[in-house]
């Protein structure tokens, strides 16, 4: 069995901690790896953030035992590291390949271990390590999706839906997020963006898909305007790779101009990962986009690095708190505290706070009570077709149903009692 063990956020750690701490971290990681395996294991340093381990004579092990071994390694490496006065958490990824199933020489085995690791990372399956026993199947399924996506672009299989966003203060749906949908003829099923967007990101197809989305949204806004309907803004998800394109702003603006759509009508949703590689260049790009009139929203906030420093340096208008903080909010005082803190920050730093994924009245009322400005979730509206959006634009929400003062409700008592 060959393992590549990688510290995902190594660059962040080296930026944040002194060299002595990083050196000690590497020693502790290698000690933990050694403790998980027997003395026959050969352990090497692949690069400063990666170890390579070769475990001979594992052919006889059952698949289940191999997985258990990797699970134990993952658990051990994911525990906190106490170094000097610091408590460090590392996000670890492990890629594994097996001799002889996956290759009969070391280069091939290393290659396979890396691809499974990259796969897990692209699919953002989990923060921690991912080990896929069914590597080849998964890789070939990504290849199938990639080839089906090429055909989908050619055959116009993608379309857009829109999820209305509810503005609490004005009790109306003021904006909507454009979300892509795909019914694949090749795969004979509808494929979720959670499944195909990461694959598209890995293969650069995301750029072409991204421009398809921009064009489709601009055309839709044009049609709505001709019907006399207008949303304040429509938001579009922009993948990190697309934002990094040199000519992104030029192409984006060119596309909008074709449909007479001004930047003021568009909000660009980016994630913190967009700024990981080259934060300075990324921030500069966003500043230019913002001064051209585009709205900037930070999507899925709280799931990435969520550095508070970013919040003061990124020019953004809207912060979208991820659904993980919203689900079952009434029973989660810690998440309530986090959203409350963000609501206070929103006031001081002057941004709009939107909560994603509210599915129940309890969640919606609590979010209102806490002071979120906007809510996007199934409770108010699921993603709908362009025609269905028209019903929401005119609609102010039935006040009995949604605007009841949460302060007087049982719900807020539930909150206070925590």
The least distance separating ligand C2E from the CB of residue 231, rounded to whole angstroms, comes to 17
With CB under 5 to 8 Å by kind, the binding choice for 371 among Mg ion, ligand C2E, none is none
Q: Which helix (H) or strand (E) holds 92?
A: strand 92-97
Told to check if 197 binds ligand C2E by CB under 6 A, we report yes
* Residues 412, 330: Cα–Cα separation, whole Å: 9
| 123 contributes a contact to ligand C2E by CB under 6 A | no
Distance CA 77, CA 92 (A): 7
Residue 198 binding ligand C2E, by CB under 6 A: no
- Binding partner at 239 among ligand C2E, Mg ion, none, C-beta below 5 to 8 Å by kind: ligand C2E
* Region of 151-159, 298-306, 341-349, 388-396 interacting with Mg ion (CB under 5 A): 298-306
User: Is residue 237 a contact point for Mg ion (CB under 5 A)?
Assistant: yes
305 makes contact with ligand C2E (CB under 6 A): no
299 counts as binding ligand C2E under rule CB under 6 A: yes
In angstroms, give the least distance from the CB of 299 to ligand C2E: 5
Taking the least distance from each CB to ligand C2E, the nearer of 304 and 357 is 357
Closest of 139, 178, 138 to residue 384, by C-alpha = 178
Classify residue 390 by burial, with Cβ atoms within 10 Å: 0-12, 13-18, 19+: middle
Helix (H, G, I), strand (E, B) or coil at 181: strand
CB 294 within 8 A of CB 266: yes
Nearest-10 Cα torsion for 124, 129, 133, 137: 20
Q: For the CA atoms of the chain, what is the radius of gyration?
A: 24
3-state helix, strand, coil in the chain (%, to 5): 50, 20, 30
CB within 8 A of 66, min separation 6: which ones? Answer: 1, 58, 96, 98, 133
Per the listing, tokens 């709205």 go with 295
**Spatial distance between the Cα atoms of 143 and 185, rounded to a whole number of angstroms:** 16
Sequence-distant (6+) residues with CB within 8 A of 171 are 396, 397, 399, 402, 403
Using CB under 5 A as the binding rule, the residues of this chain from 332 to 391 that contact Mg ion are 356
Q: Which of 155, 164, 230 is nearest to 187 (CA)?
A: 155
300 binds Mg ion (CB under 5 A): yes
Binding ligand C2E (rule: CB under 6 A), the pick from 267, 272, 300, 369 is: 300
Give 70 or 296: the residue with its C-beta nearer to ligand C2E: 296
Q: Is 191 in the site for ligand C2E (CB under 6 A)?
A: no
Taking contact as CB under 6 A, which single stretch among the options 72-80, 138-146, 189-197, 309-317 is the one that binds ligand C2E? Answer: 189-197
CB of 330 to ligand C2E, least distance (A): 15
Q: 178 with 236: CB under 8 angstroms?
A: yes
Q: Choose the contact partner of 357 out of Mg ion, ligand C2E, none; CB within 5 to 8 A by kind.
A: ligand C2E
Angle at 57 between CA 53 and CA 58, to 5 degrees: 75
CB of 5 to ligand C2E, least distance (A): 28
**Of 104, 131, 128, nearest in space to 3 by CA:** 131
192 belongs to the binding site for ligand C2E (CB under 6 A): yes
| CA–CA dist 330, 116 (Å, integer) | 38
Closest CB to ligand C2E among residues 194, 398: 194
Token digits of residue 119:
């796969």
Structure tokens at 154: 């050619």
- Assigned token pair, 50: 């990666």
Site for ligand C2E in 225-254 (CB under 6 A): 237, 239
Site residues for Mg ion, window 258-297 (CB under 5 A)? Answer: 269
Give the residue with the Cβ less far from ligand C2E, 179 or 276: 179
Q: How far is the CB of 278 from ligand C2E (least distance, A)?
A: 19
Number of residues that bind ligand C2E (CB under 6 A): 22
Kindly identify the residues of this chain, within the stretch 344-383, that bind ligand C2E according to CB under 6 A: 357-359, 376-378, 383
The item of Mg ion, ligand C2E, none sharing an interface with residue 363, based on CB under 5 to 8 Å by kind, is: none
Residue 297: name its binding partner from ligand C2E, Mg ion, none (Cβ under 5 to 8 Å by kind).
Answer: none
Residue 164 found at the interface with ligand C2E (CB under 6 A)? no
Interacting residue ranges for Mg ion, rule: CB under 5 A: 237, 269, 299-300, 356
Instruction: By CB under 6 A, name the binding residues for ligand C2E.
Output: 163, 179-180, 192-194, 197, 210, 213, 237, 239, 269, 299-300, 323, 357-359, 376-378, 383
């Amino acid at each position: 069995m060959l393992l590549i063990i990688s510290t995902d956020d190594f660059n962040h750690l080296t930026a944040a901690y002194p060299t002595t701490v990083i050196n000690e971290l590497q020693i502790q990681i290698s000690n933990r790896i050694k403790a998980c395996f027997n003395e026959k294991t050969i352990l090497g340093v692949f690069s400063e953030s990666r170890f390579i381990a070769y475990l001979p004579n594992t052919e006889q092990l059952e698949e289940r035992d191999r997985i258990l071994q990797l699970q134990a390694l993952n658990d051990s490496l994911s525990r906190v590291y106490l170094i000097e006065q610091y408590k460090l958490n590392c996000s670890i990824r492990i890629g594994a390949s097996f001799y002889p199933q996956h290759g009969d020489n070391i280069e091939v085995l290393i290659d396979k271990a890396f691809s499974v690791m990259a796969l897990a990372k692209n699919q953002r399956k989990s923060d921690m390590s991912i080990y896929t026993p069914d590597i080849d199947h998964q890789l070939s399924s990504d290849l199938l999706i990639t080839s089906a996506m090429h055909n989908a672009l050619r055959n116009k299989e993608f379309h857009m839906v829109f999820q209305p966003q509810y503005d609490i203060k004005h009790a109306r749906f003021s904006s909507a997020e454009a979300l892509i949908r795909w019914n694949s003829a090749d795969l004979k099923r509808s494929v979720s963006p959670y499944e195909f967007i990461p694959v598209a990101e890995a293969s650069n197809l995301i750029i072409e898909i991204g421009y398809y989305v921009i064009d489709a949204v601009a055309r839709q806004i044009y049609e709505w305007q001709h019907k006399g309907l207008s949303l304040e803004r429509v938001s579009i998800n922009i993948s990190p790779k697309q934002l990094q394109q040199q000519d992104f702003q030029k192409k984006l603006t060119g596309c909008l101009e074709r449909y007479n759509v001004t930047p003021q009508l568009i909000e660009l949703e980016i994630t913190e990962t967009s700024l990981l590689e080259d934060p300075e260049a990324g921030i500069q790009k966003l500043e230019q986009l913002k001064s051209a009139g585009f709205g900037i929203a930070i999507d899925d906030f709280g799931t990435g690095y969520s550095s508070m420093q970013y919040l003061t340096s990124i020019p953004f208008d809207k912060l979208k708190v991820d659904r993980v903080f919203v689900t079952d909010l009434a029973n989660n005082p810690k998440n309530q505290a986090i959203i409350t803190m963000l609501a206070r920050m929103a006031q001081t730093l002057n941004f709009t706070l939107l909560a994603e994924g509210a599915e129940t009245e309890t969640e919606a009322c609590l979010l209102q009570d806490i002071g979120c400005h906007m809510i996007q979730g199934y409770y108010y509206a699921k993603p709908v077709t362009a025609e269905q959006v028209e019903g929401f634009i005119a609609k102010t929400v039935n006040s009995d149903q949604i605007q009841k003062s949460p302060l007087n409700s049982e719900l807020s008592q539930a909150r206070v009692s925590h």
